[in-house]
Amino acid sequence: MLKTSVLLACLAFSTIAADGNYFQVLIREIDNPAGTLKNGQPCSNFGFLGAGCNTYMKAVATASGTNLSDINLPDAIQINKNMETRVSNLNFVVSDNYLDSVDAFTGFDLRVVLGTDSDCTNIIDDYIIHVSSNQEQGVYTYTSLRDGTLATTISIAWSTNIAPQSTTATPEPTTTGVPFTGSTAVPTTTPRPPVDCSEVVNVTSGVQTIYPDGTTPVSVYCDQTSYGTYTVIQSRGTIGQNISFDFPSVSNYSASFGNAGKGNNYWFGLENMHVLSGVKSYALQIDLCCGTKLIAKQIYHNFKIDTAANFYKMAATADISGVGLDYTSSGKDLAAQFSTFNDWHGKSKDSCDQFEFYDDAADIGPSVAYGGWWYGSCGNNLNGFLYPSRSGNCTVPLEVFDQNRMLGVNMRTTSVQGPGGYDVDLQSYDRVRMALFTFDSTTIDRTDSSFCS
C-alpha cells in the first residue's frame, strides 16, 4: 500500500519526471444529461431546450485509503461556459505528489464535486468512487444515481508506474549432504476441495458444492461470467419456494437455509460467511432487480464477517460512498453487528425505520419486524418480506404497507433520505443477490442485467 497521500488537481498537461514513482487520474468526460442541480432544479431557464449547467469542478484522490470526506478540496476550476450538458475531452489530471514511500499499488479513491459556482455551494453532484485494481493503467466509468432526476456520469483513466504486490512464491530451501539411497513409497496427495466457486474444477453457472472450512460441504449457486466467477451467498426471488427469512435469533442465521439457485431464496449462513471471508480477500457485489430491470449494481471491497462472539459484524469498503450498505444515518450497515428484532445489536431500536416507519402517523404503521440484518443505518434489509412481483413496479404503495406493515426487500440506492425524511424508501425489489468474487472489479460490466432475466 501507499503511505497516506493526497492527490491534488493539477494542470492537464503536466509532465512526468523521468525517474521516481508517479500516479495520476485523468478525468476525461463529465455528462449531466438532465442539466439540473442534484435536487432536480434546472440550472437554466432554457432547460426545455436542453441547456445545462455552467459547471465548476473540484477533485481530490488518494491511493492509501484516506477518508476523502475529511480532506480539504482544492480550488474549483470551471470546465464549461456555454451550458453544455456533456463536457468531452476534459482531460483534467489529478496527480499524486507524495509518492515518497510505496509498497504496492492496490487501487485508489477519487472524490469529485460539481457545482454551478466557484465555491460549489450549488451542488450538481458530490461523490466518492473507489477503484480496486492492481493494473498500472486502466479506464473506469461511474454513473451517479440522483434521486428524482437523471444520473450524472464521469469517465476517468489512471496511470502509474507502481508495481502491484508480488505474487512470486518463496523457493523451497535446498539441502546438502549425503543423499538418501533407501526406498520409500511415492507420496500421494488429495486435492484440496474448493473453498469457493472460483476453485470448482470446470465450473459452469449452476448449483455447485464448495467447502468453506475445507471439510463441510455447502451448496451454492456459482455464476460464471466472462470476467470471473461469483459465489452467491444470498439471494431473493420469486422462483422456487418462497421461504421465510424471519427468525427470532441471530443463531438462526448461522447456518445456510433455502435453495441455492438463480432467482431462488437462499442464505449461505453467517458462520460460512465468517469462515470464507477469512480465507481470501473478497469483494461483495449486490444486484438489485425490479422485474427484469437492473436497478443497481453495488460493489464493496475487502468484505469481512466477524465471529459469532462479535455477532458477525460486517466490514467492507464501498465502491460508491453514501449508498447501499454505506448509507449513513447515525451509523452504517458496514460497521454493524447482525441483529434480529428480538436479538438486537444495532442502533437504537425505537429510532430504526425498518421497524418504526410511520410510527408517528395515527392511521399507518409502524412496520412489523421482519428478517435479520446488519441494522447500522436501518435503511436496508435484503432479508425483508418478499412481495409478489408487481409487473416491474417495486414501489410499495402506502395502502399496501398499511395492510401488512412490512417494508420488503430494500436497499438504498441514493444518499438522501426517503419519503418523509425516513431512512427507508418504500422500495421492495423482487430479485436480489449478494455474491463474492476475487477478480478485478474494473472488468465488471455494470450494465449487465443477466441476473435479472
CATH number at residue 111: 2.60.40
**Are both 144 and 280 inside the same structural domain?**
no
Q: Is residue 212 part of a domain?
A: yes
Q: Is residue 177 part of a domain?
A: no
What's the confidence (pLDDT) of residue 184?
42
**Are both 410 and 262 inside the same structural domain?**
yes
Q: How confident is the model at residue 166 (pLDDT cuts 50, 70, 90)?
A: low
User: What is the phi/psi pair of residue 146, to 5°?
Assistant: -125, 130
What is the Cα–Cα distance from 54 to 18, expressed in whole angstroms?
Answer: 37
Three cell numbers written together for 284:
461483495
Number of residues assigned to the chain: 453
pLDDT higher than 50, residue 238: yes
**Are both 299 and 405 inside the same structural domain?**
yes
What's the confidence (pLDDT) of residue 99?
63
Higher pLDDT, 351 or 70: 351
Answer whether 395's CB lies under 8 Å from 384's CB. no
pLDDT higher than 90, residue 219: yes
Q: Is residue 395 part of a domain?
A: yes
What's the confidence (pLDDT) of residue 182?
41
- Overall number of domains in the chain: 2
Answer whether 289's CB lies under 8 Å from 451's CB. yes
pLDDT higher than 50, residue 342: yes
What's the confidence (pLDDT) of residue 189?
53
Answer whether 229's CB lies under 8 Å from 222's CB. yes
**Are both 350 and 209 inside the same structural domain?**
yes
Q: Is residue 384 part of a domain?
A: yes
For residue 39, the tally of other CB atoms under 10 A from its CB is 13
- Tell me the CATH number at 256: 3.90.215.10
**Are both 139 and 233 inside the same structural domain?**
no
Three cell numbers written together for 233:
451467498
DSSP E strands, 120-160: 123-131, 137-146, 149-160
Q: Bridge partners of 290?
A: 293
**Average pLDDT, stretch 420-439?**
94
Question: Around 192, how many Cα atoms within 13 Å sit in the side-chain half-sphere?
Answer: 7
Q: Is residue 32 part of a domain?
A: yes
Of 131, 160, 189, the residue at which a domain comes to its end is 160
Q: H or E segment at 109?
A: strand 108-115
**Average pLDDT, stretch 95-115?**
78
**Average pLDDT, stretch 90-115?**
80
What's the confidence (pLDDT) of residue 102?
61
Q: How confident is the model at residue 136 (pLDDT cuts 50, 70, 90)?
A: confident
Q: Using CA atoms in the order 331, 337, 338, 339, what is the torsion angle rounded to 10 degrees?
A: -70
**Are both 239 and 141 inside the same structural domain?**
no
What is the Cα–Cα distance from 170 to 207, expressed in whole angstroms?
Answer: 36
Q: What is the pLDDT of residues 175-190, one digit of tens each?
A: 334 443 444 444 445 6
Q: Is residue 1 part of a domain?
A: no
Q: Is residue 72 part of a domain?
A: yes
Q: How confident is the model at residue 172 (pLDDT cuts 50, 70, 90)?
A: very low
What's the confidence (pLDDT) of residue 224?
96
Of 140, 160, 180, the residue at which a domain comes to its end is 160
**Average pLDDT, stretch 115-131?**
89
Q: CA distances (Å), 12 to each of 6, 54, 93, 157, 419, in order?
A: 17, 20, 5, 13, 42
Higher pLDDT, 328 or 164: 328
**Are both 240 and 118 inside the same structural domain?**
no
What's the confidence (pLDDT) of residue 66?
65
Query: How many helices (H) and strands (E) would you count in the chain?
Result: 3, 19
**Are both 242 and 379 inside the same structural domain?**
yes
Contacts of 285 (CB under 8 A, 6+ apart): 230, 297, 298, 299, 300, 434, 435, 436, 437, 444
**Average pLDDT, stretch 81-110?**
80
Of 136, 160, 184, the residue at which a domain comes to its end is 160
What's the confidence (pLDDT) of residue 2?
40
**Are both 77 and 122 inside the same structural domain?**
yes
The residue segments making up the domain with residue 43 are 23-160
**Are both 389 and 300 inside the same structural domain?**
yes
Looking at the chain, the whole-number percentage of residues with pLDDT higher than 70 is: 87
